[in-house]
Amino acid sequence: MNDVQRNDALAFSARVLGALFYFAPDSALAEPLVAAFTDGEWQTQWPYPIDNADALSSAFSAPADEPLTEAWQRLFIGPSALPSPPWGSVWLDRENVLFGDSTLALRQWMRDNQIAFDVQQNEPEDHFGTLLLLAAWLVENDRQEACDQLLAWHLLPWAQRFIAEFIEKANHPFFSALGQLTQQTLGHWQSHLLIPVADKKLYR
């Protein structure tokens, strides 16, 4: 891949994965993506080579006892404790809390880079899906250096641990496959980063 192709691949994959991790599967933004994955269309469009792609395609379309929307509610909303919480500070803060020091550091970095975060509710900025969507936005707006910083300093230090636990505890074929696809895609991103991923202690 040349630089333009690499940026296009990152932006596309980050936007797709970010939407699937952040928005309900029956929402206007996620529903067409869910359809593309359940009918296997994603496989010809994914910009990175993926191990066991056929097996993942089968998992995306596999029948499940739990409806997809209910699985998303269980994994991302509650009311029970989330199996693998999607906020960075839960993994990076000693007390495993929301709005921890890592969130404040991310917030300061966003201010330093004139990045506005506009949400409808009082939610931490370090949601996994939100950070993926932000990475896509940065690349699409020719802010590759800021995207590299976001990935290396604020996402990748905890993302692989989160994803590994997400896969283990998803208990739904679609979301397990989504986690595995994301795990491999993050690996491709990291292999092309020009700055090293920060070494941060994880508390979960």
Q: Specify the pLDDT at position 183.
A: 98
Structural domains of the chain ordered from first start? 3-192 (1.10.3480.10)
Q: Specify the pLDDT at position 121.
A: 65
Identify the band that residue 120 occupies on the pLDDT scale cut at 50, 70 and 90.
low
Q: Specify the pLDDT at position 153.
A: 97
H-helix segments, the chain = 3-22, 31-38, 42-45, 53-60, 68-76, 88-92, 101-112, 128-140, 144-149, 156-169, 173-191
Kindly report, residue by residue over 87-118, the tens digit of the pLDDT. Answer: 999 999 998 989 999 999 999 999 999 998 77
Kindly report, residue by residue over 134-191, the tens digit of the pLDDT. Answer: 999 999 999 999 999 999 999 999 999 999 999 999 999 999 999 999 999 999 999 9
Q: Specify the pLDDT at position 117.
A: 74
